[in-house]
Amino acid sequence: MPIDPEISALLKQFGVDGPPPATPPTVEEMRAGNRTLSLAVAPQPPIAVGSLDDSTLAGVPVRVYRPQGAGTAPAIVFIHGGGFVVGDLDTHDGVCRRLCRDLGAVVVSPAYRLAPEHPFPAAYDDCLAVARHLSDHIADFGGGPLAVAGDSAGGNLAAGVALAFRDEGRPLAAQMLAYPATDLRIDPDYPSRTECATGYLLATAECENDIHLYLADDLAAGTRAPASPLLADSHQRLAPAVIGCGELDPLRDEGLAYADALAAAGVPVSKHTYPGLIHGFLNYDTHSTAVNAAATEMYTELGALLRI
């Protein structure tokens, strides 16, 4: 299926509709480019929430979004994407605001440490520390059920947190994974890595470069969880999941494979492949009717799992 026309127009508008540059960008250039595009497509004016506070939990900088109104509320740890190398609290501010508003949830987004300065497991350790803090102090964060969510690399980290919570016996009501990176082995055999190698913003070569930067000298970590949630010894007893992938995404097949692995282990899973959508689509919900419909579906299903 062709790319969603509204997404295609957006990529052309920002000059990112072609093949990747012949000379790979530096880490600093990657971060600047990601931030520029993310802020340019963010909802304007920003979605209103009850309150917003930049703070620190378990030694990790976080941004806490609280819904309007009083009473018990669910809590969501939302972990931003960016290949473990780029992204920050601002690049996914619109996603967090919408989750807070639409689900009436307290949303906590960690500013986890990025590679290559801080390779695996730094990002995982940070996100797990924040999630554990919420679990131990849930009364301070709405008092309702707790979920983890994330997109891309954030989906990888959220899935890793869900595995840890299962192993630690901590309650977790749900996990929402948007186009997650679930298999960090080098050169895994997924058709989407070839079919969607270039032309859809995220290139397969970029995915491989991010993996090298994240795992650094420990590429063997990609053959097992938590770096590769798909390769965990068991997926039984994990939190119910909502998993959505774009059709035109090099990470499509490993995200769908994770949904299948959970389902095979008896975990309730809502699995979606969205026609014409590309990697990173959650950030484009105000620019594409198809993206808005996909985001609405995933958020609604997450909300149903968190209904109190």
Residue tagged 């309730």 (tokens): 268
The answer to whether residues 272 and 300 touch, using CB atoms and an 8 Å cutoff, is no
pLDDT in tens, the chain (308 residues): 799 999 999 999 999 988 888 888 999 999 999 999 999 999 999 999 999 999 999 999 999 999 998 899 999 999 999 999 999 999 999 999 999 999 999 999 999 999 999 999 999 999 999 999 999 999 999 999 999 999 999 999 999 999 999 999 999 999 999 999 999 998 889 999 999 999 999 999 999 999 999 999 899 999 999 999 999 999 999 999 999 999 999 999 999 999 999 999 999 999 999 999 999 999 999 999 999 999 999 999 999 999 96
The first and second tokens of residue 190, run together, are: 């997924």
Question: Considering its fold, how many domains does the chain have in total?
Answer: 1
- For residue 308, the model assigns a pLDDT of 60
Q: Where are the alpha helices (DSSP H) in the chain?
A: 5-13, 27-41, 93-103, 122-136, 153-168, 191-195, 204-215, 252-264, 289-305
Identify the domain containing residue 231 by its residue range: 5-305
Q: Catalytic residue positions?
A: 152, 249, 279
CA distance 143 to 109: 17
CATH number at residue 24: 3.40.50.1820
Tell me the CA distances in angstroms from 231 to 38, 185, 188, 235, 262, one per residue in order. Answer: 31, 10, 12, 9, 11
- For residue 79, the model assigns a pLDDT of 99
